[in-house]
Structure 1
Amino acid sequence: MEMDADAFEKLVVDELDRLPDDMVDGLDNVVFVVEDRPEDGSLDLLGLYDGLALTERGGYGMGELPDRIVIYREPHLTECESDEELRDEVHTTLVHEIAHFYGIDDDQLHELGWA
């Protein structure tokens, strides 16, 4: 599947806007970033939460750099064959990475069907 960076970023923003308010309202000091690929160049990773989960923020306070949720364009395009499948996968990736912000680990995500 092919999609340029601008169109993919718009799709990510659209999917982020569709998430339930109670999921995104609690996001504090988090930025969403779209990148082509992970630093190692692999196509295996769809997204990444880079930060400190809420459950681990004992001394977290003012002046902290924002946590980042990174969505990788090329791995998504490699994984998906249609626009609908791409939207679903981006949605799932956003939920997965936001869950890490809230301290939900991969085992819990598997139990919930999101990993």
Structure 2
Amino acid sequence: MRPQDVRALALMLPEVVEGAHMGNADFRVGGRIFATLWTEEDRAVLRLAPEHQAMLVESGPDLFSPVPGAWGRRGWTNLDLPDADEEALRGALLAAWRTTAPAALVAAQEPA
């Protein structure tokens, strides 16, 4: 996947806005960052629940890795874009969005 794919897919999620964080594009919902795009490094950094992070790292160690240090222990996860397919990217972005979005917004998106 390419950085423009991350941007397009992230902005398709409800109430997402693009911003900037430390010189990198980021994607926010409810004023909180759920994904950051590191274009020069061909990676995205996603805010996941630690247990979801562990599952993704175990199932796709070539794609996913915890961010070093305390941020990674809190669930922030690298996604290697060149090796990712659309399904992996979509799933990871949606998980990050759900982790970060206000509960009422997440609930409103669930099927009845």
- Normalising by the smaller structure, the TM-score range is 0.3 to 0.5
Higher relative contact order (CA 8 A, sep 6+): 1
Larger Rg: 1
**Higher fraction of strand:** 2
Q: TM-score, normalised by structure 2?
A: 0.40
Normalised to the residue count of structure 1, the TM-score between the two structures is: 0.40
